[in-house]
Amino acid sequence: MAQGLGTPRGEFIASVRRRLGRRAGAPDSPYPALGEELASLEERGRQAMRRLQEGRGALMARMAATAELRGWRVCRAANSEEALDYLRETIQGLSARLAVRSHEEVFRETPVDDLLAGMGVRVQVMARGDDREGGFDPASADVGITGADYAIAETGTVVLVPRRGVSRLVSLLPPVHVALVRGPEVVEGLDDLYLFRRLEYHRRGGDMGSYMNFVTGPSRTADIEQTLVIGAHGPRETHMIILEG
Amino acid sequence: MAGVKMREFRRASARALADDKLQSFLGRSMGTFDGAREEAIEELSRQRWDELRERGRAIKRHTLDNLDYYLDMLCDRVSQNGGHTHFAKDSDEARRIVGEIARARGAKLAIKSKSMVSEEMELNPFLESMGVEPVETDLGEYIIQLAGEAPFHIIAPAMHKSKEDVGELFEKKGIGLPNLKEIEAMADAARVALRGKLIAADMGITGANFMVAETGTVALVTNEGNGRFCTSVPRTLVSIAGMEKIVPCLEDLAVFMRLLPRAATGQRISSYVTHVSGPRRPGDEDGPEEFHLVIVDNGRSNLLEDPDLREALYCIRCGACLNACPVYRKVGGHAYGWVYPGPIGAVVSPALAGLDKGKELPYASSLCGACKDVCPIKINIPHMLLKLRSSVAEGAERGGTKASLGERLAVKGYGWLMSRPRALSMARRLGRWMQWPVARRGLIRRAPVPPFSRWTRSRDLPALAPRPFRDLWRRELAEEE
Amino acid sequence: MVGKARIRASLFVTCLVDQLFPRVGVGVVRALRSQGVSVDFPPDQTCCGQPLFNSGFRKEAAALARRTLKSFAHSDRVVVPSGSCASMMKVFYPDLFRDDPEWGPLARDLSGRVHEFSQFMVNVLGVTDVGAAYEGRVAYHPSCHLLRELGAVDEPVSLLNGVKGLERVELPEAGVCCGFGGGFSVKHAGISEAMLKDKVDNVVGTGARAVASCDAGCLMQIGGGLSRRGADVRAVHLAEILGGVA
Ligand code: SF4
């Protein structure tokens, strides 16, 4: 199916051009953003980084505040002990039996497996590649635990992109999602996020991975009588642990 | 297009006005979105909101003015991501493309997240006819799929259904336990009923809120999480998009992700935004093995071609203009007779389904302009309605449809009279004489002839004044100077 | 006014006012003259063409527009007591003749000289208190075209606020259309009536003795609805109040 089905591409585009009354080629008035050199993108990226670093403290506070407004339960943890304490309390309240988590850096600093095992919760880890001993069944799990690639303070959003050991389903199938966000992953706004992702796209020669998911609080619907119901197809309960240390 | 019923706007709107249940629903509910939107805008600040609107509009204008160029770029970048792009000039072709993909992959169960284009092309019956089960997974879409109805509203397709309606419907269809009373229980029943399908589906079908030309990305905005299922679980993913949904650069999304949720539901952001850039890559743990993007024209060229109508394609389908429209608020979404209701529907539907079928809709407006005021892209809907009315009138001039004969005569007569002040004053005298039996103290309570009789059904009509202003001027006012 | 050149203005009275509400025209003239404006009335004026334009009959509308352009070719300024007719002349004439080498320039030129009545008072003359008096509570209904094509939010309100004895009351959902819409009012009479019902409910609810507006179309609609309901509220044009003829 490499060949498009339907109207051939050239024909379709030529027809659009004809209807527009336009000549072939680039727009008469160029779109500045698209003409931008990688060097300039890099420079903007550096500036944004600097700005974010300078405003760290306020940024963390804003992250926590907006996340809470968007329906996350938020824990600001000074270190991994505090993070684990919060996790313990959360899991206790859930009477969970099975947890799934992705395989990520953050769990090396904040080892959740022992804690959960100690509480009698079985933990399945999204193993790398095909090495899936112990099974991996997010559909049956009571809680899914992930890290974050970015978090956006403006919107209270956790951003997830594909990597080895990361499943799209851990943050989607279980009724409870816990996201561990590390300080440096927090960006201020949507502009920063899209800038950084765009930079990655171009750095990697035109690829930014197959997907990027923004997760902002629990899943919800208001499709019956405009009445808000928390917990539609995705998790009904979401926790954000911000590791500020 | 079997489902096109735009011609019946007048009858359908009369039915809607006579439907007490619908009227009480509309009276209660239509303000809800408005309040939430205003609050979200205030929080951001009016000024910032207006800057964003201008920015969004400028991006859309540039993209649509150069659409061929960006389609080309998008197609390249989708291939670069390992996806496939298909172009459909009309619904028929779009259906065949999706059907062909389903057939080639042996798909049996297709989960869909909300897509207006798929409504437009009546994809579901087509898939059924070829043995593929299409399942709408957005709760609102699911409800109207079960009910066999058209969407009532762009972003809240089943908003006209009360919880009692939904409870009955679910009971009839065996969704959840019988006799559900609470909304939460119904949402839960739907979730449980759909979960199995979401996990077992072999094909995912989505719409697209935005397509990024630069990176070949499709962006989906959802709240329930169904969009994430559709893009994560099935082996084959098909996104269907109207060709106008492009933005040039990834960073442009920062503008639209602020505009869309606020304008639509007053949310600062929706629960999920899913960006799909092709199929899973080697090394990804999950995700679709194949990604297909179907780009649909289906009459959009008619809007593109006309510089006066092109901005209809800037629409991001937020539904704000529906909520603000006093006509929509009285007649609801079904009266418009097709997929796209309300003010923007009155522009888009005739262009997509044919002006001949949709010629009633441009007149389904008092031209008050409330739609333009709330539109996050500042789309000038009233001006486009005027333009379409002129196309309808000119069409009538050329082809001569019978229905407008009376109107044409009235127009000619009025134009003639207003160009001849003497004839006008004679007509006036005649009018004074004719109104004498029905006018009392300057008011006519019951006019015997149309169109005046239609006016006086519920309103008094002012009678022609004893003297027109021009006489008063000549006799008294001119001299006061 | 001593030492200042007198401002001159031509009145375009509009067909509705001419035929149905002549008192509105009298009010405009009195209000303008109270501010020392010299008013004239080009006698061959009729209709701006808006009803035809709004129904889609652009050719026929253009004929009336050309007539109007001629009538006011030599006026310094044109004052129009109607938001919708003023919009027609300011916004839609240039559009109607945009590709016309002969009439296009005239239309663009007129556009700059046309002023809706309340905007003329406040923005050109710079007055909000014309010295008028009117006893009682008055609600203001902003006409759609005045509000959204011409952007007049504050002008009519500040003029009402300047009237002695007048107590202005807020009209709930003021900015929602009254349902007139020209031909819409009879073409879709049922919808128009339903919209009007809300407006009349809101007006009556304020307890005002009058509802003021700046467009004869709305006055015809709202006034017709009020009198049919037997409500003791009048629909008046702002100019009637300012000109002391309400
Ligand atoms: S026309 Fe504007 S307000 Fe209406 S749906 Fe489209 S973007 Fe939203």
- Which of A24-28, A187-191, B59-63 bottoms out in mean pLDDT, i.e. has the lowest? A24-28
| pLDDT for the residue B30 | 83
Provide the pLDDT confidence category of residue B3 given band limits of 50, 70 and 90.
low
Residue A129 makes CB contacts below 8 A (sequence gap 6+) with A164, B283
Going by the DSSP 8-state scheme, the letter that residue A57 receives in this structure is: H
Q: Looking at residue A75, which CATH number applies to its domain?
A: 3.40.50.10420
Q: Does C69 share its domain with C160?
A: no
Asked if residue A117 is part of any domain, the answer here is yes
Residue B402 predicted with pLDDT over 50: no
Is the Cβ–Cβ distance between B418 and C71 less than 8 Å? no
Residue A208 within a domain: yes
CATH number of B45-298: 3.40.50.10420
Residues C116 and C12 grouped into a single domain: yes
In terms of domains, do C82 and C132 share one? no
Phi, psi of A179 (to 5 degrees): -115, 130
Choice between A113 and A135, residue whose per-residue pLDDT is larger: A113
* Total residue length of chain A: 245
CB A27 within 8 A of CB B65: yes
Nearest to C186 among B412, B454, B469 (CB): B454
For residues C25 and C92, state if they share a domain. Answer: yes
Question: Does A232 sit within 8 Å of B158, measured CB to CB?
Answer: no
Q: Is A101 inside a domain boundary? A: yes
The pLDDT of residue C106? 97
pLDDT of residue B309: 97
Mutate to test the pocket of ligand 1, among B155, B336, B344 (most ligand atoms within 8 A of CB): B344
- Over residues C11-22, the pLDDT tens digits come to 999 999 999 999
The domain spans of chain B are 45-298, 422-480
The answer to whether residue B211 scores a pLDDT higher than 80 is yes
Residue A32 in domain: no
Task: Tell which of B387, B452, B473 to mutate to test the C interface (max C CBs under 10 Å).
Answer: B473
Residue B398 is predicted with a pLDDT of: 58
Q: Ligand 1: which atom is nearest the Cα of residue B374?
A: 3
| Domain assignment present for A31 | no
Q: What residues make up the domain containing A68?
A: 58-243
How many domains is chain C built from?
Answer: 2
Residues C118 and C8 grouped into a single domain: yes
Query: Within the 174-203 window of chain B, which residues sit less than 8 Å (CB to CB) from chain A?
Result: 183-184, 186-188, 191, 194-195, 198-199
Chains A and C touch (3+ CB pairs under 8 A): no
- Pick A216's closest partner by Cβ from B186, B269, B287: B269
Q: From C105, C122, C139, give the residue that closes a domain.
A: C122
Q: For C80-107, how does the pLDDT look when each residue is reduced to its tens digit (9 = 90+)? A: 999 999 999 999 999 999 999 999 999 9
Cβ separation B97–A191 shorter than 8 A: no
pLDDT, residue B62, reads 98
Asked if the model's pLDDT at residue B480 lies above 80, the reply is no
Q: How confident is the model at residue B5 (pLDDT cuts 50, 70, 90)?
A: confident
According to the 3-state scheme, what is the secondary structure of C117-164? HHHHHHHHHCCCCCCCEEEEEEEECCCHHHHHCCCCCCHHHHHHHCCE
Whether C245 and chain B come into contact, CB under 8 Å, resolves to no
Q: For residues C196-208, give the mean pLDDT.
A: 98
What pLDDT does C233 receive? 97
Q: Where are the alpha helices (DSSP H) in B284-402?
A: 300-305, 320-324, 328-331, 342-353, 355-358, 370-374, 381-399
Q: Domain limits at C98? A: 4-122
**C105 and C37 within one domain:** yes
Return the CATH number at C191: 3.40.50
What is the total count of domains within chain A?
A: 1
pLDDT at B369: 97
Q: Please give the pLDDT value at position C2.
A: 46
The answer on pLDDT for A130 being more than 70 is no
Q: Which helix (H) or strand (E) holds C51?
A: helix C50-55
The rounded percent of chain B whose pLDDT value lies above 90 is 85
Name the burial class of residue B238, with classes exposed (0-12), middle (13-18) and buried (19+) by CB atoms within 10 angstroms of its CB.
buried
- In angstroms, what is the span from residue B110 Cα to ligand 1's centroid? 29
Q: Least CB-CB distance to B269: which of A157, A212, A219?
A: A157
Please check the confidence at residue B397 and state whether its pLDDT lies above 70.
no
Residue B403 above 70 pLDDT? no
Give residues 28 to 47 of C whose Cβ lies within 8 Å of B. Answer: 29, 33, 38-39, 41, 43-44, 46-47
Asked if A64 contacts A242 with a C-beta cutoff of 8 angstroms, the reply is: yes
What gap in Å lies between CA B115 and CA B222, rounded to an integer?
11
What percentage of residues in chain A have a pLDDT greater than 70?
Answer: 96
The answer to whether position A52 is within a domain reads no
Each residue of A157-194: pLDDT tens digit?
A: 999 999 888 899 999 999 999 999 999 999 999 999 99
> What is the distance in A from the centroid of ligand 1 to the CA of B54?
14
Does chain A reach chain B with at least 3 CB pairs under 8 Å? yes
In a domain, A74, yes or no: yes
Residues of C in contact with B450 (CB under 8 A): 186
**Distance of alpha carbon C91 from alpha carbon B387, whole angstroms:** 14
Question: What CA–CA distance (Å, rounded) separates C236 from B462?
Answer: 13
